[in-house]
Amino acid sequence: MPSLLAVLASAIWGSSDFVGATLSKRRPSTAVVFLGVVLATTVLLLGIPLVHPPFGAYQWYGVAAGTGGAIALACFYKAMAAGPMSLVAPLSATSAAIPVLWSIARGGTVDLLQGFGIMVAFIGVVLASGPELREGSLVSRSTLLYTLASAIGFGLYYIFFALGSATSVYGTLLSQRIAGALILAPVALRGLNRGKSLVNGLQWSPKIATLFVFNSLGDVAANGIYGIATRHAGHNLPVVMALSGLYPVVSTVLAWALLKERLRAVQNVGIFAALVGVLLLNA
């Protein structure tokens, strides 16, 4: 069951990221992310009387997850703005290796077949993100540093969220979202009193509002499912961590299916490799 939940979390994460990227094409990405975090935080706060989550020191893990995730996202967008997506996205996707290695170091176990499956799935995620290493695709050192920072931040996010979820998934979600909102607020709301903040001038329609709600609450749902999966994974935690990192593959497939984006040969190989990895991990 934890493995199935991890795959479901990846599917929802990938769908949510696809919608978020679509919304960000004509709108400031920071504003989209910030408003999504605010909506999610509001919903979680309203749910406190119904859920009664425990409050305690474990929520610092949620704060760390929210901080790491927000900084990672900011670095990722900075790198994407300065360098080619075909290089930045695959390098950032290597973040999936960090929680897997951490879970193995903590006593998680994998057999030979699962270990091979993790390796194949990891390679598939990187390839599905569309790497294009060739002359003319060189980027500056600062772009590579931003990309590295985003990969580390996303990887740490997985770890801290799993640690907090061991006590309470809901409480960790709440503290994570609050921390993310506080970190993003200064950037998104800067110049609000002069009518020049990032959140001003966003045009809305029923379709855009629906996509926005799905992006925001879908991400929360994926986080919650991931937390439940890691909480019940036991020694199978490395497998759960690996399966939770397949979301870039889902985003790539959705872009192909819905936006008719052409996939390069390397991306097709990556998607196939990721599917093989999933089969091996669940064999």
- pLDDT of res. 201: 58
The boundaries of the domain holding residue 229 are 2-281
Q: Low-confidence residues of the chain, pLDDT below 50? A: none
Count other C-beta atoms under 10 Å from residue 132's C-beta.
13
- pLDDT of res. 93: 79
Residue 219 CB-half CA count within 13 A: 28
Q: 169: phi > 0 → left, psi -120 to 50 → alpha, else beta; which?
A: alpha
- pLDDT of res. 6: 92
**Cβ contact 117:280 at 8 Å:** yes
Residue 211 CB-half CA count within 13 A: 15
- pLDDT of res. 136: 53
- pTM passes above 0.95: no
Residue 22 CB-half CA count within 13 A: 21
- In tens, the pLDDT along 210-251 reads 888 898 899 899 999 999 999 998 888 998 999 998 888 888
- pLDDT of res. 226: 94
- pLDDT of res. 169: 95
Number of domains in the chain: 1
Distance linking the first and last C-alpha atoms of the chain:
14
- pLDDT of res. 174: 95
